[in-house]
């Protein structure tokens, strides 16, 4: 993981304290991550937030959804953890075809959005976020808690 990971000239994590940013970010999802079988993270970024999830939930399968194939290919560390699955998507609706998508409808999945990792692909990630949360009651409750 590197702090200088960028897309279109925009850094995909905190340039000063990426680990601290990741810890604060994950704390926001404390309620949403209780009693789930999987955690889906929207955006790979520099990976500090993904490592934070893996450290906090080592027994829970974590799937990272990412549109930037080049970012995935240059992130060699993602292959070091068998419980981590990084999924490349060409477009948001492609997630509907994923074999694990049904788990979302059953509320077995926590969906975590890491917006700094969306830099340069905000439209695709927002569409994905809305698509996944429309299928997930827990996601709707989670957003109400975060915003309110």
Question: What is the model's pLDDT at position 146?
Answer: 52
Rounded distance between C-alpha atoms, residue 6 and residue 45, angstroms: 8
Euclidean distance between CA atoms 91 and 125, whole angstroms: 9
Tens of pLDDT, residue by residue over 37-71, are 899 999 998 899 999 999 999 999 999 999 999 98
- Are 135 and 119 in contact by the 8 Å Cβ rule? The answer is no
Helix residue ranges, H only, the chain: 18-27, 48-56, 69-73, 102-105, 122-134, 137-147
Q: How confident is the model at residue 36 (pLDDT cuts 50, 70, 90)?
A: confident
Q: How many angstroms separate the CA atoms of 124 and 93, rounded?
A: 10
Write out pLDDT tens, residues 86-133: 999 999 989 888 887 777 767 788 999 999 889 899 999 999 998 887
Tell me if the pTM is above 0.85: no
Measured CA to CA, the distance from residue 20 to residue 32 in angstroms comes to 20
CB 39 within 8 A of CB 62: yes
Helix (H) or strand (E) holding 41: strand 38-42
């Amino acid at each position: 993981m590197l702090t200088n990971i960028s897309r279109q000239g925009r850094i995909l994590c905190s340039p000063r304290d990426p680990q601290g940013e990741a810890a604060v970010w994950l704390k926001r999802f404390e309620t949403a991550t209780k009693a789930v079988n999987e955690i889906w993270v929207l955006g790979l970024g520099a990976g500090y937030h993904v490592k934070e999830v893996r450290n906090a939930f080592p027994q829970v399968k974590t799937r990272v959804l990412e549109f930037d194939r080049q970012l995935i290919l240059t992130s060699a560390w993602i292959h070091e953890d068998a419980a981590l699955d990084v999924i490349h998507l060409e477009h948001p609706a492609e997630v509907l075809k994923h074999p694990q998508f049904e788990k979302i409808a059953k509320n077995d999945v926590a969906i975590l959005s890491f917006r700094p990792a969306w830099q340069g692909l905000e439209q695709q990630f927002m569409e994905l976020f809305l698509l996944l949360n429309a299928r997930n009651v827990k996601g709707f409750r989670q957003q109400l808690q975060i915003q309110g």
